Amino acid sequence: MGDDTNMERLEECKGKLTVVLALVTLISTFGSSFQYGYNVAVINSPAPEMQSFYTSVCESRNATVTNNVLTLLWSLTVSMYPLGGFFGSLMVAPLVNNLGRKGTLLLNNIFSICPAVMMGVSELVGSFEIIIVARFIVGICAGLSSNVVPMYLGELAPKNLRGAIGIMPQLFITIGILTAQVFGIRNILGNKEGWPIMLALTGVPAVLELLLLPFFPESPRYTLIQRGDENNARAALQRLRGWEDVDEELKEMRLEAHSERAEGQLSVLKLLTLRSLRWQLLSIIIINMGQQLSGVNSIYYYADSIFASAGVKENHVQYVTVGTGSVNVLMTITAVFIVEASGRKLLLLIGFGICCVACIILTIALSLQETLHWMPYVSIACVIIYVAGHAIGPSPIPTVITTEIFRQSSRPAAFMVGGSVHWLSNFTIGLVFPFLERELKSYSFIIFAFICLATLIYIWVVIPETKNATFLEISKLFAKKNKVEIVVEDEECTLKESAVKEPENSITAF
């Protein structure tokens, strides 16, 4: 009885959130993920002042400024960010495989500090071109951080905390959005004098990360599996767990290392053709497309007009927007605390379900708001409910799922594919939605409702629950769908990949 009690205490200690793990999570998410969210919203509130600056610069050059020219310049300013994010995603695999997860995050700070300086001096040198180029560069930073931070933290966390820690990057993205909304209030920095400072502040978290992150360990999984350095992997695990006995985790990593030794690091091309990862790849593509094409950016785009139609005064709309951002943060915090109990799949199903229903009701409310005086308030409620639903599942869970359903050799390429789909979908919806809104008006949200429903059905049918499982155990969950087999026959676990190379389609450990 005493031995059983001691074993239970041992397991509890191994799975606790230690000071080192908490600090490295906070530093990497504030230093990288916060910037992603901050730069999503940073140009929304000071847009009129920035557009006035663009006009004055053109006039100082004796150039003709028409509405079409100004619209084009502003569209470039907005769209360069997701375009940079797409290119940043394409850099993920080569960088994390060669520099490691921590090394890539440190390098990535260059893509934040440089554009922060550029945007900060843009008004001083009288150049809007600097802002457009800087938005592209800081987009590269966001593309890298949105993929590398979840990968890094997912590999640092014990399996019983992997979901909660995996949601932390999304939490800091929402905090970044809220911070930009608060700074964008006209009495703070959202004015003629303050907008260059507001744009330049994105470099502050990068500087802090550059100074502090070197004191924390690299991913033990990367160190052991890809670098073959078991001593440093052991030391890193002991620091992260606050416990000397890490043999069990090292054994699981060695098993994964053996299983992937034959194929080495997977390129994106090989990932696309590998039968044993077919359903995993399709799943991250559909989940990332569903996340971005579900209408979340369109809801934010439409929010101001919805609030105005409900009678919110123009000067007060910015405060209502901040309130919506606060709901986003609070619901993401809720997801952090319930993800390990509820699981990933349930949160995705609930989130997409709420978004689907909210889009349908919003369509009806917008169609009837001229007829029924109370309908605009229903529209406001739908916006808030939609934001809450997206924050609890579709926003934070896809990166957690991507980390968990791929093993070490395929994870960088998988994040590269998932990140590219994420940013291309983001870019596409930003490009297409204004035309949809002009032609279909409120009925455009029916399209988003259908996308939410289709994604929900796919998750229900295909995605398994992955909470509290090792990476190898999760691979087994997909084995039947991919028509391969994973068999572990002894403790040595020298594993031969034969799913593609051998006719009997089995992966056998012997």
Which 3-state string (H, E, C) describes 162-225?
HHHHHHHHHHHHHHHHHHHHHHCCCCCCCCCCCHHHHHHCCHHHHHHHHHHHHHCCCCHHHHHH
- Determine the Cα–Cα distance for residues 415 and 433; give it in Å rounded to an integer: 26
The CB density around residue 61, as the number of other CB atoms within 10 Å, is 9
- List the one residue out of 185, 44, 203 whose CA is nearest residue 138: 203
- List the one residue out of 256, 270, 271 whose CA is nearest residue 486: 256
Instruction: Return the percentage of the chain with pLDDT > 90, whole number.
Output: 47
Q: Name which residue leads in pLDDT, 207 or 77.
A: 207
Q: Name which residue leads in pLDDT, 4 or 143.
A: 143
Please give the single-letter amino acid code of residue 213.
L
- Determine the Cα–Cα distance for residues 246 and 18; give it in Å rounded to an integer: 14
- Determine the Cα–Cα distance for residues 105 and 206; give it in Å rounded to an integer: 10
Q: Are 357 and 452 in contact (CB under 8 A)?
A: no
Start-to-end C-alpha separation, the chain: 34
Q: Which range (34-43, 118-127, 293-302, 416-425) has the least confidence?
A: 293-302
pLDDT for 309 equals 63
- Determine the Cα–Cα distance for residues 214 and 119; give it in Å rounded to an integer: 27
Q: Are 156 and 21 in contact (CB under 8 A)?
A: yes
pTM for the full predicted model: 0.86
How many alpha carbons fall within 13 Å on the CB side of residue 238? 9
Torsion of CA 456, 460, 461, 463, to 10 degrees: 100
When pLDDT is averaged across residues 478-483 and rounded to a whole number, the result is: 78
Residue 216 has pLDDT above 50, yes or no: yes
Residue 357 has pLDDT above 70, yes or no: yes
For 267, which DSSP code?
Answer: P
228: left (phi over 0), alpha (psi -120 to 50) or beta: left
Q: Name which residue leads in pLDDT, 199 or 482.
A: 199
pLDDT for 323 equals 87
When pLDDT is averaged across residues 132-139 and rounded to a whole number, the result is: 95
Task: Let me know if domain 266-460 sits in CATH 1.10.3720.10.
Answer: no
pLDDT for 354 equals 96
For 496, which DSSP code?
Answer: E
Q: Are 489 and 499 in contact (CB under 8 A)?
A: no
CATH no. for 16-216:
1.20.1250.20
- Strand order in 486-488's β-sheet? 486-488, 507-509, 495-496
The pLDDT-based confidence of 89 (bands split at 50, 70, 90) is: very high
Q: CATH 1.20.1250.20 occupies which residues in the chain?
A: 16-216, 266-460
Which of 78-82, 202-206, 435-439 has the highest average model confidence (pLDDT)? Answer: 202-206
At 395 the three-state DSSP class reads coil
The CB density around residue 178, as the number of other CB atoms within 10 Å, is 23
- For CA atoms 6, 11, 17, 20, the dihedral sign is positive
Residue 453 has pLDDT above 50, yes or no: yes
pLDDT for 34 equals 95
pLDDT for 486 equals 60
Q: Name which residue leads in pLDDT, 47 or 488.
A: 47
Token pair, residue 266, equals 């997977």
Q: How far is CA 482 from CA 112, 277, 359, 452, 458, in A?
A: 40, 7, 34, 25, 16
Q: Which range (74-83, 95-104, 225-234, 438-447) has the least confidence?
A: 438-447
